[in-house]
Structure 1
Amino acid sequence: MTTVDMVTPEALAEAERWTAHNYHPLPVVVADAEGAWVTDVDGRRYLDFLAGYSALNFGHRHPSLIAAAHAQLDRLTLTSRAFVHDQFADFCRGLAQLCGKDLVLPMNTGAEAVETAIKVARKWGYRVKGVPDGRANIVVAENNFHGRTTTIVSFSTDPDARDDFGPYTPGFTIVPYGDLEALTAAVDEHTVAVLLEPIQGEAGVLVPPTGYFAGVREVCTDRKVLLIADEIQSGLGRTGRTFAIEHEDVVPDMYVLGKALGGGIVPVSAVAANRDVLGVLKPGEHGSTFGGNPLACAIGVEVVRLLERGDFQRRSAELGERLHDGLRALIGRGVLAVRGRGLWAGVDIDPALMTGRQACERLAEQGVLAKDTHGSTIRLAPPLVVTPAELDQAVAVLAKVLDEAR
């Protein structure tokens, strides 16, 4: 019997038997999906308010993205970067123009894109800024989440992500998120970049103080340091703008992108920067066999087209107000605080009532999928195709879960 023939308990047991336990998923086995809805192997439907950690910004199986994937599957799926294919230039040009940058370097996963940004920043520091070899330093923030490679977890402050994976990669200085004074003090003559999330998602959808990124931009410009914006979760329409850093009218030197760039179909990531930054790389110094493959680029081209229209950004901004209004109405009814922008919210549940994990389990029982993080905080990030009625339904379910626990 295959998993597709199983009911939920059997499928969960089979996954538990054969899979390394690096995740603790909710007891839901998804078999089908469309838009903002998924259906499990037992035929039960759920509103998806996680959206693949923003990988599904355009919803499950968006028609134009699926059509682009089907068309490319019938023609060409992989060449490696040893050759150029006919989707590559269109994708790179479109994404570069969307970012307002000269060049794009496509990769696969978000962590690969962050690693790419780190390597580019270090090489830029040595070749352009003149930092002595081996002394390059990058300033990062506490409670960051940029991926799970050995280099990236070296500057994580999350014990679950970091512990037992040393020895750790040097070259990073960690400062409190949102503390401009601490960041300014940390930047020295060997600093080549400041790497930040415009909104910290894994930390609980933390939004920095107003003016923070404008201040960071000024420091980076004054000290000849690259400002790198990790927009893997926060970018591509999630917060009501194409990029979350736009809320402060700040332009970084480098964008790090992923998740939604693949349309929820294939892993696609990229780094975008001007020629004076990305141009430091020479052939053979960095690459990926699957990075920028034809299937990924065909889907990425359509993702860029969807974003160029601005409809998804406007929808996220407008419906985001509705979502946050509904969630703030629950403060005092079991919710302690609500944060976020657009269709992205961090909700702190009163720990006297339940943990975040328990809240998500009870939401799932009522037909809404969400994910907890750090204690009693849950994250809500529906696909940008969600309707007002579906938003109201999810908030009502959360209210019911809280009322039942009080």
Structure 2
Amino acid sequence: MAATAKSENEARRGKMMDFSLTPVQRELQARTRQFIAEQVMPMERDPRQTAHGPTEDLRTDLVDKARAAGLLTPHASTQAGGLGLSHRDKAIVFEEAGYSPLGPVAMNIHAPDEGNIHLMELVATPEQKARWLHPLILGHTRSCFCMTEPAPGAGADPSMLQTTAVRDGDHFVITGRKWFITGATGATFAIIMARMEDGTATMFLADMNQAGVEIERQMEALDTCFTGGHAVVRFDGLRVPESDVLGKLGEGFRYAQLRLAPARLTHCMRWLGAARRAHDIAASYARQRLAFGRTLVEHEGVGFMLADNEMDMHTARLTIWHCAWVLDQGEKGRDESSLAKVYCSEALWRVVDRSVQVLGGSGVTDETIVARIFRDMRAFRIYDGPSEVHRWSMAKRIARG
């Protein structure tokens, strides 16, 4: 019996170590890379980019290009119009898309829409899918995910949720305040997390252009890559019919984990592409720039930084692939997604930081895109839970034995 279990574990580990790409994956990788290089990167200096992300007009133009290339919303199921990508397929495509800050926007795989699409495909009713999900998949609309609140509300600790939902006949009345809500400005609808009278949490779907919804203000942030930026949103007596409950009453916290585990991983995939872009620019500069009679890369201080970049990116990619494999097996992968989120966010930050250092003055100005990647990347260590919370979660599991 023990020998059988051992052989099964060995076989599983053997499968996990097979990171070679299939011919189909190679073709998809090449097609995505070409699309980003030829259609998206030339638009990176488009004046329709603002401190709060690309304008809706720019987003629409980018989405049209991805639609024409057959690369729009590739993570959605084939029945819904996507390519039905596995998590391993997404690891390839999302990395290539992340090579440009506009790539995820163009391909409709940016946060929060990417995670909302994943969740709604799993738990939304057919009527909810027709009303909200299908236009989102087609790139005609945007959405937001309203969970984080100002103190003393929910942040890294979702159990502190303050927004309430009180039943009133066949409606629920939602009252509360959310902040750091990515994409809220210009979003067509929201997924709202609220606390029920019995202390459980429920998710609700609601149009943003109705009474009871107010965007109080835009928040100034380091990053500029998300359409709509980040906003403070108030719900004041918002009436939501019971038919617009997302999934089952009282299951909000469970659905949040259902959404966040793959969403953490797709963040890693996209930011790996951005880190690779920063490294490529820094490496090219180091091969050409002369100092003290030699190119920069010939100086060990610079050459070693670029070598460390390659090691960090390689290990991050293996970490992503391992976690993707776990999710593709139908396992929950909560610990793995936490591991990937912590390691990748910190490793890829090191890559971008070193790239800035190698570039010197060019790295801290907009002479290259690296400064922009640097600003956008810093928040990655906080999105979907800061590194410290994930470490704490893993430590609690270790303590249980």
**Fold match, TM over 0.5?**
no
TM-score by length of structure 1 reads 0.29
Q: Relative contact order (C-alpha < 8 Å, sep 6+): which is higher? A: 1
TM-score by length of structure 2 reads 0.29
Structure ranking higher in helix proportion: 2
